[in-house]
Structure 1
Amino acid sequence: MSPAVTQQPAEDTLGSVQPAVTLDHVSKSFGRSGNPVLDDISLSVAPGEFVCLLGASGCGKSTLLNLVADLDQPTSGSITVPGGRAALMFQEHALFPWLTAGRNIELALQLRGLGRAERRAEAERLLELVRLGGAHNKRVHELSGGMRQRVALARALAQDANVLLMDEPFAALDAITRDVLHEELTRIWADANQSSGSAGQGLSVLFVTHNVREAVRLAQRVVLLSSRPGRIAREWRIDLPQPRRIESAGVADLSVEITEQLRGEIRRHVQH
């Protein structure tokens, strides 16, 4: 195993600090058959931690994210998010096409109770944060795919949540745009945790992907789910320094190792 990776349960990293997200023996079944999509998932995410959930299509990654977002309820087990409702960013931008970029963000700010002037100023700040300064009055159809995802990220951040849930948000983008947004997300996450200081909770990210290199590039910890039912098969703590490049030797080496484990889980599912 590469020296950049250590395997250990999440609880070892938390100590006495209250986790930002806790899943305790969570299972989820659908339909009359009652066959589980997720089975006995126990996972903790520390304040300020970046965790990637990795697995083959259909292993329950998105289902798990929906449970944490309180969009659905587990069949058994419990989920705790002490900071309140988590912010969720989808694979599709889900922007309202009849609104401008700025007004899409302001909707989230309005739900927080901010006044009109405050909303405008905060939306401008968030657009600057995602490198879209000056785009407040642009309509959705005027924005590229990458720009739309930046607005969607700004809208998620506008919810001022301590936990950001991301469901394959860059999967539909071309490789270069995805690479740039990896850099931006890493910067925003690092800046949020640096500015929070010791007194703040920081920004925890739970990021779903089936792209191994994306997971290794972004995460402090990669959690591999088995296929149908989804169980935690293995996890890796990624000690490579940030910022990382997706083509770097360290990312490539770890990606090969994790890919082999992913292939093994897929083969095991096919055999059964």
Structure 2
Amino acid sequence: MTATLEPTVPSTVDAAVTLSAVRKTFGHGPHAVTALDGVDLRVAPGEFVCLLGASGCGKSTLLNLVAGLDAPTSGSITLTTSRPAVMFQEAALMPWLTAARNVELPLRLAGVKRGARREKAGELLELVRLSEAGHKRPHELSGGMRQRVALARALASTLGSAEEGTPGLLLMDEPFAALDAITRDVLQAELVRVWRETGTAIVFVTHDVREAVRLGQRVVLLSSRPGRVVREWSTVDADEPAIVQDITARLREVISGHAAA
């Protein structure tokens, strides 16, 4: 079986998501907290962008806004897909469903017929190298395997957009942070492979500079709260040690500036 997830119609749009002057404030009056302030960001179809910043800088808030889980206080977010998929630090699989049925779930909710969704779930499990584990339930899988199933399920959520010729969008909120170092390294490599095979645009939140440089084509650094875009780096053909050093130095400046404020 071969996984075939390419769009049936080539995409003609120039952005998977665009954020313009996005601001998000929680609460009202003197107790209000502004998490994001004036964020401008554009992610191209098929682009892998890593959001980097200190804890509490608004990275997860930004992802929630793009996912439609919350609304910005001001500014605009334009999506070319109605089905952005989200993958969190915890796999959040349905414990009573097998791996295959977990992957099928978004397809079932989208009204895909049983035969078609089972076939697609099988392709996705093969894509994440779990074709032999489809019958197992989450408690029978390791942490890394559960995250692979969660990735396959998230990709299933993006399929409707791909079939309509619009770019798929996957939002990932520190999905490997709870895993041991060896498993995390393996899954990082697997994610890059899956991204290249599917062409899905990815926005990946992390606080790990090396992870951001290893995975992303572009690294976007947010300031401490309120989060603003401080600087961006292209990692394509970049010298990895040099760019890691540069980003780390800039991140330390951001953190030190916030602590001194």
- Give TM-score, length-normalised by structure 2: 0.89
Q: In the comparison of the two structures, how many residue pairs are matched?
A: 240
SS in 1 for 2:96: coil
> Which residue in 2 is equivalent to 1:106?
104
Aligned match for 1:69, one of 62, 67, 70: 67
Q: Any conservation in 2 of the 1:70–1:85 contact (CA below 8 Å)? A: no
> Which residue in 2 is equivalent to 1:212?
209
Aligned-partner Cα distance in 2 for 1:263–1:93: 31
Deviation at 1:34, TM superposition (A): 2.4
CA RMSD of aligned residues (A): 1.3
Aligned-partner Cα distance in 1 for 2:240–2:146: 28
Identity in percent: 63
Which amino acid in 2 is paired with 1:181? L
> Which residue in 1 is equivalent to 2:51?
53
Change (3 A) 1:17 1:104: closer
> Which residue in 2 is equivalent to 1:19?
15
Which amino acid in 1 is paired with 2:99? A
> Which residue in 2 is equivalent to 1:166?
172
Deviation at 1:17, TM superposition (A): 5.1
Q: Any conservation in 2 of the 1:20–1:83 contact (CA below 8 Å)? A: yes
> Which residue in 2 is equivalent to 1:10?
none
1:42 matched to 2:49? The reply is no
Q: Any conservation in 1 of the 2:128–2:152 contact (CA below 8 Å)? A: yes
Which amino acid in 2 is paired with 1:28? K
> Which residue in 1 is equivalent to 2:3?
none
> Which residue in 1 is equivalent to 2:218?
221
Deviation at 1:106, TM superposition (A): 1.0
Q: Any conservation in 1 of the 2:18–2:43 contact (CA below 8 Å)? A: yes
Could you give the per-residue CA deviations for residues 108-165 of structure 1, whole angstroms, max 9, x where no partner exists?
1102211111121111111100000111110100000000000000000001151000
Could you tell me which runs of 5 or more consecutive residues in structure 2 were left unpaired when the two chains were aligned.
Answer: 1-11, 162-167
Aligned match for 2:89, one of 68, 88, 91: 91
Aligned-partner Cα distance in 1 for 2:94–2:236: 39
> Which residue in 2 is equivalent to 1:255?
244
Deviation at 1:183, TM superposition (A): 1.0
> Which residue in 1 is equivalent to 2:4?
none
> Which residue in 2 is equivalent to 1:268?
257
Which amino acid in 2 is paired with 1:205? I
> Which residue in 2 is equivalent to 1:176?
182
SS in 2 for 1:79: strand
> Which residue in 2 is equivalent to 1:199?
none
Change (3 A) 1:30 1:122: same
Aligned match for 2:152, one of 146, 151, 154: 154
Structure 1 window deviating more from structure 2 (250-259 vs 50-59): it is: 250-259
Aligned match for 1:185, one of 175, 187, 191: 191
